[in-house]
Amino acid sequence: MVENQRAGASFQDADVVENYSYRPPYPDTVFEKLLAIAPRRQNLLDLGCGPGKIARPLAGHFQQVTAVDPSADMIALGRSLPGGDAPNIDWIEGYAEDFAIGERHFDLTVAATSIHWMDHARLFPRLAAHASSGHRLAVISGDTPFEPDWEDDWRHFLARWVPAITSKAFDHAGKQEEMAGYERYLDIEGREYCLSEPFLQSVGDFILCQHSRDTFAPSKLAGRMAEFDAELIALLAPYANSDGDLTFTVRTKLVWGTISPP
């Protein structure tokens, strides 16, 4: 358990990082759209990059990629994965609000499943000061099953477990509103939903994926982890095929625009 209690600190836990590889990939159309909205392809900034789910696939399309994350283990994982050793990726351990940015200016900034952890009042003036002409900022959210067959059972599961771990009621709508708080700093140009091809994942791997998420990090579940896993296995087993695999699609939301003037 890390001592740092900053929001999202669990992503520096080694076991959370280890389980991150079980998260589904973003749909291919997300990357196509990012390339389409970039005013040019010189400098890309990937904020809260994790293991480089954005930085690594796009490194072949940009002259320079800056990938920033506060977790040294996440960066180490990113370096070890395919494309992570690309010479034009500059991996930086640090927070988006205060990493050593130097004289860099960016054409496209991407925050994928990460911007809700950041201090927007500090972040956006900084990004504006380092934005190239025509700069676009894109926010990506959504790497979970979209309307799977077990949706109702899953909501009931969350309604039981989220309060047990966080001491707060499970409020899906409220959470979505909170995660969209960054929008007041943007002049939004577009919103788009991208659907993946059907994704196959074993029940066991799906559960490990949940342990890559802040709420259900092993350090937060502590002595209840076995209970959590057993209940989730029982929930999901009826929806798995004979090999124990689940099939689902992922719907990812992409919002982009320019940073609003102060």
Q: In this predicted model, what pLDDT tens digit does every residue of 47-79 receive, in sequence order?
A: 999 999 999 999 999 999 999 999 999 999 999
Helices (H), 63-112: 72-80
Provide the pLDDT for residue 5: 57
Q: What is the pLDDT of residue 133?
A: 97
Ranges of the chain with pLDDT below 70: 1-8, 172-178
Q: Could you please report the per-residue DSSP string of 127-153?
A: HHHTEEEEEEEEEEE--SBSS-TTHHH
pLDDT of residue 53: 97
In the chain, what are the domain boundaries?
9-146+175-198+247-259
CATH topology of domain 9-146+175-198+247-259: Rossmann fold (3.40.50)
Distance, in Å, from the CA atom of 125 to the CA atom of 17, rounded to the nearest integer, reads 30
Tokens of 245: 């695999």
Report helix, strand or coil for 124: helix
